[in-house]
Structure 1
Amino acid sequence: MTDRTDRTGQPETFLDHLRAAAVGVLERFPERLKPEMYALSFRIWRVDADDRHPYVAIGYNTESQYERERYPGDEGEVRWNYAYWLLDGFEMLGNIPEDPVGSRVYVEEVRQLGVWYDGEFDLGRVLDDDDLSARTDLLRLHFYDAVIDLARHLHADGVIEKTFGRPLPVIVFDMDCPGWEAHATEYANPPELVEEFMAWQRAAGEI
């Protein structure tokens, strides 16, 4: 499966950009830690709460981090709840200064979709304007879909297994949307890879 680029070698779609760029991100993970990584993390966030500037931080959690954080009686909380995970210092992709190619392609794409809007971001303005509120919802869904599709692609194309020597689950989450990660992660992975994660979610009453 190949990702599409235009005649200048630039990605045709934002998803094409994510697919190509994520390969490099995974390859740059520290080699010494790769054997103890048990899950990848796709942390979705947005700059200053503005859905026009979303990004995904592509990271991981390790067995060592799990052992540091675990406590007696833990029933999977520490292993699968991102609150206990490594979250800082990871590369980010999206409409942010750290990803200039992604920013250009993203803005062009959402403009063509008709959901971009101009002007300074003001949460009150967005909440009071039905049109802006609808655009914001569509922007968020567009990014969610791209990130979930990215995870599915990295599995289907064998990128994860090739990079780490084994398949790893991708845990997708947005701290602004509690509970959503159960559904996002389920859609993002082959079922057998997230059996333990989903069992913990059910036990925790999240699904």
Structure 2
Amino acid sequence: MQLVPKTLENDWLRLEPLQEHHRETMRPLADDPATWEWTTLRGDGDHFDTWFDLMLSEQEVGRQISHAIYRKEDGELVGHSAYLVISPRNKRAEIGWTWYTKEARGTKVNPAAKLALLSNLFESGAERAELKTHGKNLHSQAAMRKMGAQYEGTFRRHTLTWKGDLRDTVWFSVLKEDWPGVRRGLLARLS
């Protein structure tokens, strides 16, 4: 698997590899406490620079590829998503750290972003895409199921959140052989 930072595009979105020049444009968009309700690290307010610096540093050492997500119809920056826990040897990566501005939630942005990210991942030679979320984040779990990702289980008390509690982590996957059906479903949602 050869996964490298590059701009991803489809009819709806442009996903640019995250760089320092995105910081100040992204800062006010991340300043919504609801965005960070279920995360392990906060990125709103005074916490933004710590979060943004982590995204960049993980990318610099090859553990992550973060993306600033732009909506094509108006050129607006509407969120962030990343490949993380990239394992070329095992031909897999996780898609996560996904968040969108309030006005972009519930629109075509999420299916279009997943279409771009999953297309690139499988074209890069992946056999498996992983997704995970907080056990209490029912909205995210519903979105993963609607996309066609397969529920794989729940790791109880798996990860410490920024609030100090241990969250249950719910895991989903899309395998290479699942991808054609998932792709058709995403395209149907976007048409």
TM over 0.5: no
TM-score for both structures, normalised by structure 1? 0.30
Higher alpha-carbon Rg: 1
Q: Which has the higher helix share?
A: 1
Higher RCO, 1 or 2 (CA under 8 Å, sep at least 6)? 1
